[in-house]
Structure 1
Amino acid sequence: MKFVIDSITKNSGRLGQLHIKDGAPEQRTPLLMQTTKGGSIPYLSGDVFESHVTRKQQVLQLTLSTIDQMTEALAQWNSAERGLSDYVGFPGHLNVLLLRDPCEMTPAGGNDRDIQPLFTRRGKESLSPQRYMEMVASLRPDIYQGLCDADTNELSAKKRVQKSVDRTEKFMHYIYEHKSKVDSALLAPIVGGYNTFARTQSIKHAREQPSGSYGGYIFEGFHTNGLTATTLDASKLLPIVEHCVGQLEEDKPRMVPGAYTPLTTLELIGLGMDLFDTSYAYCAAVNFKALTFTFVPDDVVHIPFLDITDDANKEDFTPLLKSCDCLTCRKHTRAYVHHLYKTNELLGPILLMVHNLHHYMSFFAAIRESIARDGLPQLTELVRRQNGDSQVDYGIAPNSKVINKATMGKGFAAAAV
């Protein structure tokens, strides 16, 4: 894996080119990775995604907590010329393997000196560094993160934070020693909660490794995934990230997984972060929200998202977003999507995911254009206020209006479980 910076500015972050493997096209950063669950983009088949969202090659974000059951089959799969993306139905796409699902809240606890808990669909599994590297060797991802203890957040005690750093260092000693057995790029985990000393200690351990030991960084331990990332206090997060970035070399990409809000994402990019994911788009869709925030200057006051459960949409025959050219907005109306919600049809979350992914990918294209002209501060201010007088709230609250026993397992009802 190689990372080349095209431009870097004090106020607008940086543009770069990420070359993940030979024969694959370079990816422009800031990069938006496609979050998957069980190897699939939620609610969308590979054909639907490539036909109605984008035909461009993507980087899939796969999580061990949702695909761990595939390791045995992949170990026996004669795949000399095919990889993990082919196995999950996205041939030709690149992939990154993470430990935890950024779409769902990760349970706290279960930590042990020598193992890392992995919360899967079948329950909690115990993951030792040896077992982890065996699974990575079977899955053969293009990029994988180092094993780490990321069970921290803003409220974590100093003792818990220090344990996360110490255990991560212990895990990574084994990973660094045995990484040559895996032909994949490694992301060094940076942990330490909201403690600058602990974060510095984690960075120091990574940078002490021989040259070429890892290809980039992944920042963990700021939240417990799911909706918790949409409501974290950016005023406490950003100083920690800025402190860490100042200690990192420029020629390695930096990933921050999780459903960070569009505003927090822009502020992280301004500090020099490079790799993000679409879990925010999923968290919005699964809670019946269509993304409607604007990133194109105009004179209209916008709202961050549209709640399609609102009865005001019952007879509204306009698109989810008038300026959007996705399949959902071109072919369907707010009234129709609201009807799908009322009748618990599976097409409802499908149409919302098509729209939210299209909108969020367009947002990242606008981010790269803004950085190129050193205009990220102006874009950030637009997203912050949406042409209004006060800062808008991008936090996502759980929406459980549909849940009832009669409709459990259907369409939107299943999405809210």
Structure 2
Amino acid sequence: MTGVTFELKATDGRARTGVIRTTRGDIRTPAFMPVGTAATVKAMMPESVAATGADILLGNTYHLMLRPGAERIARLGGLHRFMNWEKPILTDSGGFQVMSLADLRKLTEKGVTFRSHVDGSKHELTPERSMEIQRLLGSDIVMCFDECPALPADRARIEESMRLSMRWAARSKAAFGDRPGHALFGIQQGGLEPDLREESAKALRDIGFDGYAIGGLAVGEGQEAMFACLDYAPDMLPNDKPRYLMGVGKPDDILGAVKRGVDMMDCVLPSRSGRTGQAWTRRGQVNIKNARHADDPRPLDAECTCPACRNYSRAYLHHVFRAGEMISGMLLTWHNLHYYQELMAGMRAAIAEGRFDAWEGEFHAQRAEGDIAPL
């Protein structure tokens, strides 16, 4: 498909670095995609998100179809113009949110009917409608419509769900059609069952996609089980296409995924944590709510160059969080997104220079030290 290509630049073990080229700009991999659920990364201006080093954002089909509506966004010039973000956007299919958020949902071969969690209105989402919504939004990378059962689930349920998702993947590809400059990614399912993952990967390879996602993880199975699955799942997918692990995660989850051959990730964690007083730093997590920060004139992270660390003390960040001031979520979210992008840049450089194992050792050693001692 013209307009979106993937160039693998270097590997170190199973870790990979490269670039996804789109008509709206390059996405350096491994890439972390901040989540702009409702056409905004919460508490951030789009130019601030770009300043953290993000090459691409994720938008949520389910949320945008309910409010303000895909047709309205299309009339207003598409999602990029609507939210003032000129770089690439990936939209998810809506399948996961339907399963996790919608009320009174009914699943059939055709698709899912459900009631909106916003106002109770009735909607139907099918592979065809998901492709239409994502076309109206104008996203650069479109995801197949799939079903994602929460884990743990019994094998029969996972098998049935995966095969339905593969039938929906074929329908998604047919409905996507020929859209130069836009990419369609398939989604591997199969829970924690290697044979079902292989069956799913083969079905997706036979259909043929511009990139491949690993779905159905980070849904309650725990890090050990997720890593055990990632020990084999990425290698079942084509080597010359991007591999995207959906909904991950904490910094050590991301590192573990990259180590196992994943190229792209997304997660609400850095922005959600920022709004609840949690900061991610190279020394691990800091809870700014804690009283120990109230008189601390030092920055959150002395090595960080984000505005929160450059210009404000822990004492100030503690105060504005306690006072319920909006700037608290803004500064901590900026810091967290900056840290996540710094993490990705560090991994890209380490892979390119063939020192990924050493970088990983430093990452874990620094985190093991824990936060700086209280004054």
TM range (shorter): 0.7 to 0.9
Using the alignment, how far apart are the partners of 2:179 and 2:72 within structure 1? Answer: 18
Q: Give the RMSD, CA atoms, in angstroms.
A: 2.7
Corresponding residue for 2:70?
71
Cα deviations by residue, 1:237-293 (Å, 9 ceiling, x for unpaired): 223223222322211000112142211211211111001125231232133111122
Alpha-carbon spacing, 1:162–1:194, altered in 2? closer, same or farther (3 Å): same
**Structure 2 unaligned regions, length at least 5:** 371-375
Deviation at 1:76, TM superposition (A): 3.0
Counterpart selection for 2:264 from 263, 268, 275: 275
Corresponding residue for 1:260?
249
- The 3-state SS of whatever aligns with 1:208 is helix
Counterpart selection for 2:353 from 364, 368, 373: 373
- The 3-state SS of whatever aligns with 2:333 is helix
Q: Which amino acid aligns with 1:178?
A: A
Alpha-carbon spacing, 1:102–1:377, altered in 2? closer, same or farther (3 Å): farther
Equivalent residue runs for 1:250-399 within 5 Å:
250-293=239-282, 302=283, 304-386=284-366, 388=368
Corresponding residue for 1:207?
205
* Residue pair 2:188, 2:213 contacting (<8 A) in 1 also: yes
Cα deviations by residue, 1:337-368 (Å, 9 ceiling, x for unpaired): 11111111111101101111111111111111
Alpha-carbon spacing, 1:387–1:310, altered in 2? closer, same or farther (3 Å): closer
Deviation at 1:172, TM superposition (A): 1.7
Alpha-carbon spacing, 1:36–1:248, altered in 2? closer, same or farther (3 Å): same
Alpha-carbon spacing, 1:48–1:373, altered in 2? closer, same or farther (3 Å): closer
Deviation at 1:18, TM superposition (A): 0.9
Structure number with higher helix proportion:
2
Alpha-carbon spacing, 1:381–1:35, altered in 2? closer, same or farther (3 Å): same
Deviation at 1:60, TM superposition (A): 1.2
Using the alignment, how far apart are the partners of 1:203 and 1:76 within structure 2? Answer: 37
Corresponding residue for 1:180?
177
Alpha-carbon spacing, 1:47–1:172, altered in 2? closer, same or farther (3 Å): closer
Alpha-carbon spacing, 1:125–1:333, altered in 2? closer, same or farther (3 Å): farther
Check if 1:163 corresponds to 2:160.
yes
The aligned length equals: 361
Deviation at 1:4, TM superposition (A): 1.0
Alpha-carbon spacing, 1:103–1:261, altered in 2? closer, same or farther (3 Å): farther
- The 3-state SS of whatever aligns with 1:26 is strand
Alpha-carbon spacing, 1:193–1:235, altered in 2? closer, same or farther (3 Å): same
Deviation at 1:305, TM superposition (A): 1.2
Cα deviations by residue, 1:42-84 (Å, 9 ceiling, x for unpaired): 111234445xx34x6721111112211331213434x4xxx42
Q: Which amino acid aligns with 1:2?
A: T
* Residue pair 1:292, 1:306 contacting (<8 A) in 2 also: yes
Corresponding residue for 2:373?
none
Equivalent residue runs for 1:120-139 within 5 Å:
121-122=118-119, 125-139=123-137
- The 3-state SS of whatever aligns with 1:42 is coil
Using the alignment, how far apart are the partners of 1:103 and 1:285 within structure 2? Answer: 22
Using the alignment, how far apart are the partners of 1:344 and 1:159 within structure 2? Answer: 48
Cα deviations by residue, 1:86-128 (Å, 9 ceiling, x for unpaired): 12122x2111011359999934994512223676544574311
* Residue pair 1:203, 1:247 contacting (<8 A) in 2 also: yes
Corresponding residue for 1:17?
19
Using the alignment, how far apart are the partners of 1:366 and 1:244 within structure 2? Answer: 24
Check if 1:46 corresponds to 2:46.
yes
TM-score (norm 2): 0.88
Q: Which amino acid aligns with 1:266?
A: L
Q: Which amino acid aligns with 1:365?
A: A
* Residue pair 1:152, 1:223 contacting (<8 A) in 2 also: no
Q: Which amino acid aligns with 1:282?
A: S
Q: Which amino acid aligns with 1:28?
A: R
- The 3-state SS of whatever aligns with 1:371 is helix
**Structure 1 unaligned regions, length at least 5:** 294-301, 393-417
- The 3-state SS of whatever aligns with 2:241 is coil
Using the alignment, how far apart are the partners of 2:83 and 2:271 within structure 1? Answer: 19
Alpha-carbon spacing, 1:71–1:120, altered in 2? closer, same or farther (3 Å): farther
Using the alignment, how far apart are the partners of 1:287 and 1:141 within structure 2? Answer: 30
* Structure 1 range deviating more: 113-122 or 315-324: 113-122
TM-score (norm 1): 0.79
Deviation at 1:190, TM superposition (A): 0.5
* Structure 1 range deviating more: 94-103 or 319-328: 94-103
Counterpart selection for 2:217 from 196, 213, 222: 222
